[in-house]
Structure 1
Amino acid sequence: MKNIKIFSVCLLASGVLLGTSCKKFLEQPALGKLSTEQVYTPAGVDGLLIGAYSALDGTAQDNAALGGGSAWEAAGSNWVFGSVAGGDAHKGSDGTDQTAINQIAAWTLDASNGFLNSKWKAVYEGIARCNNTIKIANLVAGIPDADKTNIIAQARFLRGHYYFELKKIWNMVPYVDETTTNFMVANDQDIWPKIEADFQFAYDNLPPTQSQKGRVNKWAAGAYLAKTYVYQKKWTDADALFTTVIASGTNAEGVAYGLTDNYEDNFGAATKNNKETVFAIQQAANDGSNQISEANNGDMLNFPYNSPFRCCGFFQPSMDLANSFRTDAAGLPYVNDYNSHPLKTDQGLGGVSSGNSFTPDAGNVDPRLDWTVGRRGIPFLDWGNHPGQDWIRAQSYAGPYSPKKNTYYQSTKDTYSDQHSWAPGSANQINIIRFADVLLLAAETKVQLGNLDAAQVLVNRVRARAANPASYVYKYVNAANPTGGFTTETAANYVVATWPAGAFTAMGKDQALKTVYFERKIELGMEGQRFFDISRWGIAQQALAAYYGFDGQFASDVTGASWTPNKNEYYPIPQFQIGLQTVGGASTLKQNPGYN
């Protein structure tokens, strides 16, 4: 979808909630814009829908976020709001670069933080595009009924996604749809029923397959609706729908949902849109458009520093996350005391160029570690063994690790990377929901309903994939020529097992729930979900305390950080938006509790 040019919808969208009025654009020549005659056609309506898809990654042209700000401020991956804020990762780089993220990482932010306003504007731009699609589709003649229903259902799915984003970040937000005419809307209503209604409509009306990759189908809507139930603790509703999706669901091409043999296939551009893909933000590179925004520029900062990627050293996995991949002699995780079994690192040792030798940790680990975390001495895809500090901007600030899931391969960089700007882009898709996520949400639901054996079966499906040698990382045939292939010798001591029969029942509901939570942490690490999980589970304070306590010994960025209950479950409403809706000294928007 990303390689289809974005239709400009400014002439149809309200400028409210975006901080930019379309009126000033209308006073200029309409260069590059579509006329009303072009829009009010079947092709025009589909173009509007493509525009709604194109807003998913939150970015526009020239490294900008939709509505203004830098692309990474509104990234569809939620690497800042979900992963950095949740302890998956340090901000990275050094303390002087992108200082607004420092406040988010340490939970010292207030309503003036610019990332908040950029994300708000970008998401509401996506909503405006969905609303325009729905409105115009209902006015245009000549669209076959089945096609019109499909278009509207896709737009409502996307609108449900955008509002889900707003809900999990801010909780109470204004709701506007295609019928709204007064855009001074208060944020005094719970919007979960509206989100449910959009996903329910999509589930009831989308076809099971679509003609183009990237378009959502019935089963993606069902999975997202079930996830909506989970966030509201509607366990019985969630259980029934997950059961149906797991048993009958397919991707948009009609391939039955399942787990890929190789965990890494969910992140490489050459293997995207596979049987595990439920809903993903599509990315493209080198498609002839020469548009920077085609290739995930929301994550363009997130490559190793001083490396072949050129920029920029952000989004460094935390030691807390890395330690979570340690396994015991039986191949099971240390759910309760993982930081008591820390991995060996090269923190403070100096990189390869310093001449100091380093032998990677020889203990048992889960192979998902080495597809998630770039660490010294372990193959970094086909770019060579990670050289440690040589690829880290400031170890003492953010630790020894590099991100990996967003990275492209050296052997296919001419196809799957974009080098049009000062930092690279990648054609790797951004996973919003993949089948492993569905299985673990279903397992969480089963535990909440007291069905511990069924929950264990679902968790074991995920662990069995990690235990498959196809998911291991292997050493190079020749480390001096890393694109020359891999041996059959594992890069680390990978020991992973499924939980033995009856384990969940024996441990009881509370510990079984912790075990499911922990599996989500390691399966979905660095995928923008962690903070939203620990917040909805009510464990953010203790989870972040563990992270701050361990990593704070080595990395100064989280020294003294703290998370405040009954406040930091949600982010502050952007002050700019409150001001934008202020008339006579009173705003229609109310700030979230605990924030000034």
Structure 2
Amino acid sequence: MTISKFTCSTAFLLTLGLLTGCSEDFLEEAPADQITDANFYQTETDAVQATTAIYGELNKEGQYNMAMWAFDMWADISSTGADDGNDGKEYKQLEAFSIPTTNDVANRLWGGSFVGIQRANIVIQKVPGIQNIDPTVQKRCIGEAQFLRAKYYFDLVRAYGDVPLFTAPPTSPAAVNIPRTPVAEVYKQIEQDLIDAFGNLQPAYTANADLGRATKWAAAGLLAKVYITEGKKTEAAQWAREVINNSGKTMWANYADNFKVENENRNDKESLFEVQFVNGRNPADNPYIRNTVGSAMNEFFGPRGANQTPGSGYGFNIPDPDFVDGYEAGDTRKAATIFVPGDVFPDGAKQSAKATGSKLGYNVKKWFVGKVNTQIWDSGLNVPTMRLAEVYLILAEAVGPTAEGREAINKVRRRSFGLPINTASAARDLTTTNPTEFTEAVFRERKYELAFEFDRWFDLKRRGNAYTIQRMTEQAALLKGYESSPHGIPTENNLLLPIPQSEIDANPGLVQNPGY
């Protein structure tokens, strides 16, 4: 599914001011005064449009076009970079663990996620009552809404802790002002949504217009990730095996193939779910916008001033030196993930050994597409949010240093060294049977396999607050004198994002996280 090819009207948005319109400005929208909540949900087209609108927040600033970037820069693999002024102050506040309740990451992640959740709630409520619809499409739409509601809530509960739990559209302004729901109850709903979505979703799509929609394997993979995050290893292993054994998915032989426009939305290959981006659709009169359908990562993460992107690159999200030095010799993921000094750009120029915001000449390469067109924040490279490689690592973590667990992690390791994935390697295979050593190896593998896919902070957090504080204290010492906005040292009171102050002001039922 190319999400940008669909539009939605204000007809299926809440009238409480919770949601904003989702037209992408390149398709005509039906006049709002001719469509109402009462007459919109009548046809299959209505159902599909309403469902498509739920995806619309994924490629905006509240998700993968700004806020989600923070969860690597906040962690121990990268730093804000850019220049020494106010660029990226929202990320620098996180790095310093000096986070105001007005922090832009906290505000946008909260707002964007709840927009998506409320759109999902509307679909789950309205679509079952549509009569003029193919039952298969009806079931699929409900499953997509369940999957996406779970995804948005998974992001929220990991970032903020307790959050308000909405499972139906609020019916009045007062119904919006509910208190925060305990984490365990939110996770229970996430689990149920994904189990239901697995039963409702299709295994694959053949029509080009539907490629990119959530499948049952996206739901199964995310459910395995939810369970491992909760520490429910038996359930995580069960769902990881479901994906591995039954999805028909295979890993790319070449790691870098995961991050190429020409390989997007393949039913047979590694990606289980991708956030869709399309270039060439940003408005010509306002190219500096991250709330349409083009990705800004090519520009923001591109080497600053290198003239390799339409805006010459901003140099955000700089890989930390200890992370770069931690790659094993021969690991092909390094060349696919990071620009290092001497790397040759498409025009023949070379990466500098020192640049503004990157004292050692490191930049993120994973989302680089170069000068794809003249639009400045407008890459069409999708972001895979679940890959088969991660499912193997979830299985390995869940079952430990058993034969099954070692084979799962070793498939990922073999690929990283350019070896046949299913053939044992005496040189590269992990053989330890020590549970502690094996757990460390799995988390290390996640660190390098999923680098700059915006998951590292959550991996630290699920190892416990004490571990996170210790790791970030070590990182602050390692980076002293290296960067202009060094990592601070956290306490238990700033390991969660603050509830946005605007939400606290508007909702007397909300209680702020401790320390803010």
The TM-score, its normalising length taken from structure 1, stands at 0.75
Q: CA deviation at 1:548?
A: 2.1
Task: Give the alignment partner of residue 158 of structure 1, picking from 139, 144, 148.
Answer: 148
- 1:135-534 alignment to 2 at 5 Å? 135-178=125-168, 180-181=170-171, 182-190=175-183, 191-210=186-205, 211=207, 212-249=210-247, 256-274=248-266, 275-286=269-280, 293-297=292-296, 300-306=299-305, 307-309=307-309, 310-325=312-327, 327=328, 364-380=329-345, 382-384=346-348, 386-389=350-353, 392-396=355-359, 399-409=360-370, 413=371, 417-420=372-375, 423-447=376-400, 451-468=401-418, 497-500=427-430, 503-505=431-433, 508-534=434-460
Q: CA deviation at 1:320?
A: 2.3
CA distance in 1, matches of 2:10, 2:420: 45
CA distance in 1, matches of 2:50, 2:459: 33
Q: CA deviation at 1:530?
A: 0.3
CA distance in 1, matches of 2:274, 2:96: 29
Give per-residue Cα distances to partners, 1:96-118, cap 9 Å, x unaligned: 11322211122111322122112
Give per-residue Cα distances to partners, 1:517-572, cap 9 Å, x unaligned: 0000011111100001111112322322332222224223116x1121x3233211
Give per-residue Cα distances to partners, 1:105-135, cap 9 Å, x unaligned: 2211132212211221111111121122222
1:55 matched residue in structure 2: 57
Q: CA deviation at 1:179?
A: 5.0
Q: Give unmatched runs, 5+ long, in structure 2.
A: 23-28
Contact 2:393–2:409 (8 Å) recurs in 1: yes
Could you say what the CA RMSD is over the residues aligned between the two structures, in angstroms?
A: 2.8
Task: Give the alignment partner of residue 91 of structure 1, picking from 80, 87, 97.
Answer: 80
CA distance in 2, matches of 1:379, 1:264: 16
Q: Give unmatched runs, 5+ long, in structure 1.
A: 23-28, 60-70, 250-255, 328-363, 472-494, 582-586
Q: CA deviation at 1:281?
A: 0.3
The TM-score, its normalising length taken from structure 2, stands at 0.86
Structure 1 pair 9/138, CA: closer, same or farther in 2 (3 Å)?
farther
Contact 1:452–1:512 (8 Å) recurs in 2: no
Contact 1:9–1:48 (8 Å) recurs in 2: no
Q: CA deviation at 1:17?
A: 5.6
Q: CA deviation at 1:262?
A: 1.1
CA distance in 1, matches of 2:377, 2:104: 23
Structure 1 pair 465/33, CA: closer, same or farther in 2 (3 Å)?
farther
Q: CA deviation at 1:385?
A: 5.5
Contact 1:368–1:523 (8 Å) recurs in 2: yes
Structure 1 pair 427/525, CA: closer, same or farther in 2 (3 Å)?
same
Q: Secondary structure at the match of 1:103?
A: helix
Contact 2:390–2:446 (8 Å) recurs in 1: yes
Count of aligned pairs: 483
Q: CA deviation at 1:77?
A: 7.0
Q: Secondary structure at the match of 1:316?
A: strand
Q: Secondary structure at the match of 1:280?
A: strand
Q: Secondary structure at the match of 2:180?
A: coil
CA distance in 1, matches of 2:108, 2:369: 27
Structure 1 pair 77/280, CA: closer, same or farther in 2 (3 Å)?
farther
CA distance in 2, matches of 1:33, 1:260: 49
Identity %: 25
Q: Which has the larger radius of gyration?
A: 1
Give per-residue Cα distances to partners, 1:1-34, cap 9 Å, x unaligned: 233133134763254666x899xxxxxx986787
CA distance in 2, matches of 1:288, 1:99: 25
CA distance in 2, matches of 1:455, 1:524: 18
Q: CA deviation at 1:146?
A: 2.3
Structure 1 pair 179/116, CA: closer, same or farther in 2 (3 Å)?
closer
CA distance in 1, matches of 2:89, 2:509: 30
Structure 1 pair 33/82, CA: closer, same or farther in 2 (3 Å)?
farther
Q: CA deviation at 1:498?
A: 2.1
Is 1:35–2:22 an aligned residue pair?
Answer: no
Contact 2:342–2:352 (8 Å) recurs in 1: yes
Task: Give the alignment partner of residue 124 of structure 1, picking from 114, 136, 139.
Answer: 114
CA distance in 2, matches of 1:32, 1:318: 49
